[in-house]
Amino acid sequence: MKKFKSLGITLAISLISFSSLSFAGEVFDIENIGTKSKTEGLERVTQTLVPPPFLPKHDQVAKGNPKVIQMTMDIIEKEIEIAPNVFVQAMTFEGSNPGPMIVAHVDDYVELTLKNLKTNTLVHNIDFHASTGALGGGALTNVAPGEQVVLRFKATKAGVFVYHCAPGGVMIPYHVVSGMNGAIMILPRDGLKDNKGELVTYDKAYYIGEQDWYVPKDEKGKFKRYTSPVMGMADTMEVMKTLTPTHLTFNGKVGALTGKNAMTAKVGETVLFLHSQANRDTRIHLIGGHGDLVWTGGSFDDVPTTNRETWAIAGGEAGAAMYTFKQPGLYAYVNHNLIEAIMLGAAGHVSVEGEWNNDLMEQVQKPSPIK
């Protein structure tokens, strides 16, 4: 019988023991199996993960019987630049912040091969909020550098859910605020429904991962730079204790979804926006547009609310909103704490092409001197 000890963590000198797991309060009897997996004979489909804000190829309505959706994800520790001349020692799934979106349908099985590259320094794992089982699979996926593990779970809940690294104790928040989180979308087999229960589809879908960063400064007020996650940990945790981020980003860098990297659409297209925040509450607003349909908490089993100006997403949660664009132009997609959007970086753009509709909005008079 395999036993995993509780979520306490002992910081030691070596890099591996520094992040090693200890689950002393929890015992997982994974050899005492009451119900066997029902995956035998199911079709296997390999999903190729892609960097956010894009989603992997998928069907909006499931075709045929449930499948085993299998994918591979590399854990990569790397330095990234989150703002001009501001660097962090990030911990990532597949090298991006957020990690890639995974897509499956209810009753599918998600089978992940998780690889902790041998060039990394710390133990990592993955906790799926979409899964059913203690610690979201975290206790079954602990891997040291140079190891890999395979986890499979049945998708029983429809919605959009966060996943993140959770290696125990203080290492849980440290890994999460170092960029190690992403999201998974579990679609109903018969597709998304509007507030009247009718099928709705989207022309495009974008995944936006909002990240709070806590970057230490030196005595001169300059942001510090470190050579590894371990070297920056003590200083970063002091900033984390303030609960005040130094930067907030959409998809890993201030301005990552602006300019040439802005999300795009055309007038008449329906876009599904998927937004996650693994650690901190946020509130989303599309300036000049609305949430035609908003699934609170990302739950697709619930009736979506309609015509929302702003929608809240709790820390540790992902949300979903759908909008059909009616006017061309540059739309700002923001965290509507505008201090956080404008001053800390939680903002992106949607560039929309098409013809202007004066019946919806018209500049009746151009700016001119007051008479």
Catalytic residue positions, numbered: 124, 127, 129, 164-165, 175, 180, 285, 309-310, 336
User: How do the residues of the chain divide into helix, strand and coil, expressed in percent and rounded to 5?
Assistant: 10, 40, 50
Q: Is the peptide bond between 98 and the residue preceding it cis, with omega within 30 degrees of 0?
A: yes
**Amino acid at position 191, single letter:** G
- Nearest 5°: the CA angle 325, 330, 331 is 60
How far is it, in rounded angstroms, from Cα 254 to Cα 83? Answer: 5
CB neighbourhood size of 220 (10 A):
5
CA distance 115 to 144: 9
Q: Are 272 and 202 in contact (CB under 8 A)?
A: yes
Bond before 84 cis per omega within 30 degrees:
no
- Tokens encoding 156: 């029983």
Produce one character per residue of 259-292: b if its CB has 16 or more CB atoms within 10 Å, e if not. Answer: eeebbebebebbbbbbbbbbbbebebbbebbbbb
Strands (E), 61-203: 68-83, 86-93, 102-105, 109-116, 127-128, 147-154, 159-164, 181-187, 192-193, 199-200
